[in-house]
Structure 1
């Protein structure tokens, strides 16, 4: 399958978020060789056009790098494609590969490869161009049974506290929580996947530990896989198989306000806050994404999501109130608005072709951020929909792609693009 070959080629080119310029240049060269006029903007988005298009295909070309990524060793058993001890990058390299295939096959097409989606939809938010075709097919969804026409609002919540070192003397321990399953903090938040930072903080508190240093988490939109801490305490009396303990000797100082830090983490409620029974989708959720210690400052990062603007504001207020009670200063970053579902001509065309292969397909919304929601908000009259093959456990070392599903979606995309060649 040519698309799978293209994806495997993409996997050989490093393209972690904030470090994807090699893939950017590769895609620019490919687009020019395929007869497209190409423009790169200041945010590293790649916009390309050929002929007189009536449809635009869009994917992001950065990936969440977990485990050994960007060194990706593929495992292909003919049915499932995964990577050995790393994220696969099917989110959204598969969308990129499908677009490349369509670029070779069609004469009238508009494409947008956006940059740094996985770190706050930076490329989409920065894009100041116009989708001239007026129809945008996003290829960043991960379930073949849906045509997605709505997505959650999201916002990062940063909480920080100054914590200089104060004298203390006791046994010194290194604590590690490593290689948890991880996962996407929107799509997989309902699975109650363990959070390494929460596990570590609970372990420290139950052992009456005092923090010397603490760091954990990988990405703002991922459930934390790893966390490490240095603590002092009398002895380790409470055990947890997920926490590796190594005694280091004797410690002489700890972080000021360490108890406040532990109190905030341990009192914070991770995961789903409300669920919509009618839509069968998470309505509100929040993930504790990262903690880092740097030059006497402890920073915590939370990612709040909601299917409504009111729900997002409520999550922000509750989390900020809790953090301020523990002495933290709070700020907000990288807000993305909710994409309210709207069924128009284009969405119905996409649904029609999807249902030809799979009668179970229906309109859905997703509890995650989608770039098409940003583009719709920017451009009046733009119609959008999002589809994609079955991709499981993105943003984790368990990420894997269902190959048969890719073949189905690729055929649908080809039919949709062909329909708009008329």
Structure 2
């Protein structure tokens, strides 16, 4: 499906970081109109495009997690994969959008829903105002081409905030930088327990009795923190360690944080990562990502993202985390959404049958990540939903890559399904 890859290349040239999607929105609206579609945009930026009498709605989000030098994306094709030079690729979910572009061009009866700002709290899905024409929704945001997803985790954001007056200190000042970790998607990759740059830096500072002048770690609330950097006064010279760069800035007077000790205690004590495992589904069940930690300019900021495929465990980890940090600062939670309980349907059976024509080993799956079709399905009575997608590895990171052959296989599945309902 060369056309799909060509569409994707075109999309990578248009800036579409979360919260900065206007140019992509305008491009997709004009493209859909050029394909003969009726097009409307709701108040949160979701694009609804359709023509003819569609029976299946294709759905993808059009924002991306911008890491590295993104939104400048230089695509590299290597060893059967697409990746980007020094940035995230945006195949999550740009490849789904590219498939939808080709579907609008090829078919007379088609419906497409491009949702906005999925990566920052499923904003588009939660605020959806459009009325869908179809009773079947095929989400294209999954990342393994042998799976038909029929369930996903719920999630909640947790924000820790406090003020910091500062205390004047004189001493040896150092810059400490943590580097070389993989990061990754806070749901899909959390099971492999990737090292947290934030916890690594906080541990290092505490072990050498440092006092923080400034601290900044993490990139996005739904990304496992890859980088962290701090300016610190140490009473003794710290020793070099793997993945830690130390630069002596000389002796001087600085305002260290009055919250330095509590900040380090909170980060070092908090259990980041996997909390429970679902042996029935063979996926992570409950986890929490300590995603962002900042202490600078008189402010303390810690952002966390909890996920669970079980409603009770999700509410429990929200409560426990808020209780933990409330001993240290002000805490609030936001963007709570329930898990999508795994359930087969007539439509999911049809999708699985088509998938098995291209891969006999295809099967049902539930994912430890948020999918918009769970939210949309709860909003639209009688809507049958499932999710598929090409193989994408290390999304939300500069190591993101997408398998070209997998794009071809999933594109065929998508077009076979739409063609069935022409």
TM-score if structure 2 supplies the norm length?
A: 0.97
Q: Which runs of 5+ in 1 are unaligned?
A: none
Partner secondary structure for residue 155 of structure 1: strand
TM-superposition CA deviations, 1:147-186 (whole Å, max 9, x none): 0010001001111222210122211111112352110000
Match of 2:344 in 1: 343
- Please tell me whether the aligned partners of residues 160 and 328 of structure 1 are also in contact (alpha carbons under 8 angstroms): yes
- Please tell me whether the aligned partners of residues 376 and 382 of structure 1 are also in contact (alpha carbons under 8 angstroms): yes
TM-superposition CA deviations, 1:361-402 (whole Å, max 9, x none): 111100000010110111121110000010000001110011
Match of 1:385 in 2: 386
Match of 1:368 in 2: 369
Match of 1:257 in 2: 259
- Counting matched residue pairs gives 420
Match of 2:241 in 1: 240
- Please tell me whether the aligned partners of residues 88 and 400 of structure 1 are also in contact (alpha carbons under 8 angstroms): yes
User: Post-superposition shift, 1:293?
Assistant: 3.4
Match of 1:176 in 2: 177
Match of 1:54 in 2: 55
Runs of 4 or more above 4 Å deviation: none
TM-score if structure 1 supplies the norm length?
A: 0.97
User: Post-superposition shift, 1:106?
Assistant: 0.7
Report the Cα distance in structure 1 between the residues aligned to 2:315 and 2:47, rounded to whole angstroms: 33
Match of 2:24 in 1: 23
Matches within 5 A, 1:269-348: 269-293=271-295, 295-325=297-327, 327-348=328-349
Q: Which moved more, 1:249-258 or 1:408-417?
A: 249-258
Partner secondary structure for residue 222 of structure 1: coil
Match of 2:100 in 1: 99
Report the Cα distance in structure 2 between the residues aligned to 1:375 and 1:179, rounded to whole angstroms: 38
Report the Cα distance in structure 2 between the residues aligned to 1:380 and 1:227, rounded to whole angstroms: 45
Report the Cα distance in structure 1 between the residues aligned to 2:237 and 2:59, rounded to whole angstroms: 52
Report the Cα distance in structure 2 between the residues aligned to 1:323 and 1:144, rounded to whole angstroms: 40
Give the RMSD, CA atoms, in angstroms.
Answer: 1.2
User: Post-superposition shift, 1:237?
Assistant: 3.0
TM-superposition CA deviations, 1:41-97 (whole Å, max 9, x none): 111111111011111000001111111111111111361111111111000000000
Partner secondary structure for residue 223 of structure 1: coil
Report the Cα distance in structure 2 between the residues aligned to 1:235 and 1:403, rounded to whole angstroms: 52
